[in-house]
Amino acid sequence: MAQSDFPGWHGTTIIGVRKGGKVVVAGDGQVSLGQTVIKGTARKVRRLSPGGYDVVCGFAGSTADAFTLLERLEAKLEATPGQLQRASVELAKDWRTDKYLQKLEAMLIVTDGTDLLIITGAGDVLEPEHDIAAIGSGGNFALAAARGLMETDHDAEEVARRAMAIAADICVYTNGNLTVETIGG
């Protein structure tokens, strides 16, 4: 099988929701290779604590690439304690300009309970509108669902869980096995 014919790892859904002083990041557990589910219990949401400073990260894309980026982000956070936005911009700059990092295929949602950001390999550090960030193959489904749920009495975690359940019902690359991390409030 030629490299270009290899089906590749595909899909996931990660959502970040800020509501009521809390930020929740939730991610599904499905890892797919082409049309085959390889694993249903992957943990794509992690808590980093560089220097005692808590940051929650969710990733979509290549797992090895995402772990490389998380290690780099942790180093940036250690160099700029308590400054998630600055560390994220520094990571995005490196990702965009470093020849090794440019090849990495992943996206990140990061939060310290105050900032909620999406970091991409295109050099973007985005602060999403409506206090919702979503990435991955089911990201748009989860985003739309969460936008509709934000007007309800549900807290951030319930909005994230319900949005992920809707995405899992629609996106074949997303399952209902969630990892959920809460920060703030």
Is position 36 annotated in a ligand binding site? Answer: no
Question: Please, what sign has the CA dihedral across residues 46, 121, 89, 174?
Answer: negative
Is position 114 annotated in a ligand binding site? Answer: no
Please report, as a single letter, which amino acid is at residue 12.
T
Active site residue 12: yes
Give every strand in the sheet of 55-61, ordered side by side. Answer: 45-48, 55-61, 106-111, 116-119, 125-126
Is position 168 annotated in a ligand binding site? Answer: yes
Query: Which residue among 12, 13, 111, 182 is the active-site one?
Result: 12
What is the length of the chain? 185
8/79 Cα distance (integer angstroms):
34
Strands 31-33 and 22-27: unpaired
3-state secondary structure 129-167: HHHEEEEECCHHHHHHHHHHHCCCCCCHHHHHHHHHHHH
Q: What amino acid positions are annotated as catalytic residues?
A: 12
Task: Tell me the binding residues for Na(+).
Answer: 168, 171, 174
